[in-house]
Structure 1
Amino acid sequence: MYTIYHNARCSKSRQGLEILKNSGVDYNVREYLKEPLDEGELSGLINKLKIAPIELVRKNEKIWKDDYKEKDLSDKELIRVMVNNPKLIERPIVEADKEAVIGRPPSQIEKLL
């Protein structure tokens, strides 16, 4: 079973969802802006992505530039910032049992299938 962390307003996220639909795999859609992740879920997802938390941050978002860009935040603090501001989480993310990918470009998702 796959899970896509999806934002319907994002074209890349919609393209990622299409890839899953067309692949024939079983998947769940989690609209993470409506159903935010908690710190444990986000930490687990970051581990599956095999990246540092800062690599998951959308650095062009206004809230990042205005409130966090100049701060020296620990990984734990970055996770808390993303949990409290889910708009800052890069998208789409597709998660499988033991790994995950950021669907940028959306073709990255195909590597997980």
Structure 2
Amino acid sequence: MIKVLHNNSCSKSRAILEHLDENNVPFEIIDIIANPLTEAELKVVLKKLQKTAFEIIRKNDALFKNNFAQQERTDEEWLQILLENPSLMERPILIKGEVAMIGRPIENVKFFMD
């Protein structure tokens, strides 16, 4: 089963859920806004993505641009920023076993559907 880290206000995240549903792919939704990840959970996701916290921050987001864009931070500080501001996280993130990916573009999701 695919786990989808989801933000319902994100059209791309909603589109992935629709795509999975239309293709009868079983999935579990984890709403990262209503139920933010713990530090341990986020670290596991980052390891599966093989990315740093900074690499999964939405750099075009107004919150990032207004509050963080010109700042140098450590990996741990970026991790804390994501924990405090889950809306800054790239989404959707799909997790299947020990592998994860950012679910954009939608064509890349086919990897998880097999």
With the length of structure 2 as denominator, give the TM-score of the two structures.
0.91
RMSD: 1.3
Match of residue 75 from structure 2: 75
1:1-113 to structure 2, matched below 5 A, reads 1-113=1-113
Separation (CA, whole Å) in 2 of partners of 1:108 and 1:75: 27
Gaps of 5+ in 1: none
Residue type at the aligned position of 1:50: Q
| Percent identity for Structure 1 against Structure 2 | 34
Aligned residues: 113
Separation (CA, whole Å) in 1 of partners of 2:97 and 2:70: 35
Q: CA deviation at 1:47?
A: 0.8
Q: Report the 3-state secondary structure (helix = DSSP H, G, I; strand = E; otherwise coil) of the residue aligned with 1:73.
A: coil
Separation (CA, whole Å) in 2 of partners of 1:111 and 1:42: 22
Q: CA deviation at 1:25?
A: 3.1
- 4+ residue stretches of structure 1 with deviation over 4 A? none
1:57/1:90 contact within 8 Å kept: yes
Gaps of 5+ in 2: none
Separation (CA, whole Å) in 1 of partners of 2:52 and 2:7: 22
